[in-house]
Structure 1
Amino acid sequence: MKNRLIKTMVSWFVMGIVVLFFAHSSVAENQVELAKKLANPIASMINVPFQVNYDENFGPDDEGSKWVLNIQPVIPFSMGDNWNIITRTILPVIDTDDLPAKGMGESGMGDIVASQFFSPKAISKGGWTWGVGPVWLLPTATEDTLGGEKFGIGPTGVALKQQGPWTYGMLANHIWSVAGDDDRADISSTLMQPFLAYITSTHTTFSLNTESTYDWENNAWSVPFNFSVAQMLKLGKLPVQISLGVRYWADTTENGPEGFGGRFQFTFIFPK
């Protein structure tokens, strides 16, 4: 498994070098502002991240592994002079190996998580940006093992502050299942995602966060810590950002991933 992870990280590094080679090195002066908007989950800017995650050591014998491609379009809508609606959708494409048992595995689409944040256009007097709204769990998985076969809903919210090169804040939500297959387990899950980012004058972003979830049905935590380095570039006239990261699972559910994982992200940006 360790050799597989090393090969995976090397592949992502090579992919990043290829992207850097073909990208234009000259960037506009406002690239720092674009990087700051990307560090803000509810910035009023269309962007489409393609995020590849790899984790391993699943199952009782630590034999399982999983690839997940998250397609995550962020689309803002203006509501008059004072408010925005920011839609954030996560569509996962999943490939598993030796899950749920050795010799087994599935590939396909997982369940979609869609959030809508109602956010004031003006920053608060204290310098904070915030948004609240609903989050939806849609049972779109193409295979039984790739989703919960439950429809869910709950509240979500985010608050953050950007001060100089720093961005810090927290995103959270809770999802309850309200309909779906009665033979499948109910869902009651809380996500807490505190985040910290530092953006340099060369448009490089260093980020640290944890995407911790608590399963209230099974009284179990999943706590991955993520560290990543992202760089703003231009492909022709289109600004993009590439990111490489590493993850460590500080806590996990029974038969969940353990040890280290990796992340590669490529984000298309469509500034106004």
Structure 2
Amino acid sequence: MYKQPIPWVGGADVFPTEDGQFGILSGAFNDSDVELGDIGFDVAIGKTLPSKTVLVGGVVGTLDTATDDAVGLGQYLLGPEVAVAQIFDWGVLGLLVTHQWDVGGNDDFDTSITGGQYFYVVNLSDGWQITGSPTFSYNHEASPGEEKWTLPVGVGFSKTTRFGKTPWKLSLQYWQFVKQADSLGPDFQIRFSLGPVVPLPW
């Protein structure tokens, strides 16, 4: 198998390969800037059944808020979302699936993307957990011959501990991408999160 490396030395350009796989013009990475991308949102309601099955349904969308075309679609997206999870004595197993279509904005192209997240938690002792929550997507409008999937597999650990009177959760996950729709997308990600554990307001 042959993979074309991307040459980078200091502030040097990234050039396209001979077959134009990356389609990047010389000088594209010479400048830097700070821009706002599109903002996603979702509104959902859920219910936990006596069987400890959790069902969630709602609406997901994307607002055309990008300050530069390079970091946004130029479209408004909207669609449904549904999630199901099962609570076990040993932890949690679940799946979230969303779908978004373009409903406004740039009509030069169509957008139809199925996305989601699969997640699992295995409870250990002393606040430790084995956990994973990779996100995936499938682009229904990808051109023929292009990869439609962005699909990682992931595993990690989390720890819940107290700082003062507030419990905090620290999580570290490793995602390995087995499918990648973006030619310049990552082969893997290391993700760290830290946040307080607060009760729901209702």
Same fold per TM (> 0.5)? yes
Indicate conservation of the 8 Å contact 2:134/2:175, yes or no. no
- The change in CA–CA distance for 1:228 and 1:107 in structure 2 (over 3 A counts) is farther
Task: Name whichever of 246-255 and 149-158 sits farther off.
Answer: 246-255
Task: Name whichever of 209-218 and 149-158 sits farther off.
Answer: 209-218
Q: Which runs of 5+ in 2 are unaligned?
A: 15-21
Task: Name whichever of 192-201 and 103-112 sits farther off.
Answer: 103-112
2:35 match: secondary structure: strand
TM-score, structure 1 as length reference: 0.59
Selected match of 1:245 from 149, 159, 173: 173
Letter in 2 for 1:158: A
Deviations 1:45-102 (A, max 9, x none): xxxxxxxxxxxxxxx85469xxxxxxxxxxxxxxxxxxxxxxxxxxxxxxxx979644
Matches within 5 A, 1:75-94: none
Indicate conservation of the 8 Å contact 1:106/1:146, yes or no. no
Say yes or no: does 1:226 pair with 2:154.
Answer: yes
Selected match of 1:207 from 105, 110, 131: 131
Per-residue deviation at 1:217?
0.7
- Distance, in Å, in 1 between the alignment partners of 2:166 and 2:149 is 40
Structure 1 match to 2:46: 119
Q: Which runs of 5+ in 1 are unaligned?
A: 1-59, 65-96
Q: What is the aligned-residue RMSD (CA, Å)?
A: 2.5
Indicate conservation of the 8 Å contact 1:233/1:241, yes or no. yes
Q: How many residues align?
A: 178
Q: Percent sequence identity over matched residues?
A: 24
- Distance, in Å, in 2 between the alignment partners of 1:142 and 1:217 is 24
Say yes or no: does 1:187 pair with 2:111.
Answer: yes
- The change in CA–CA distance for 1:61 and 1:108 in structure 2 (over 3 A counts) is farther
Structure with the bigger RCO (C-alpha within 8 Å, sep 6+) is 1
Letter in 2 for 1:194: Y
- Distance, in Å, in 1 between the alignment partners of 2:31 and 2:149 is 25
TM-score, structure 2 as length reference: 0.77
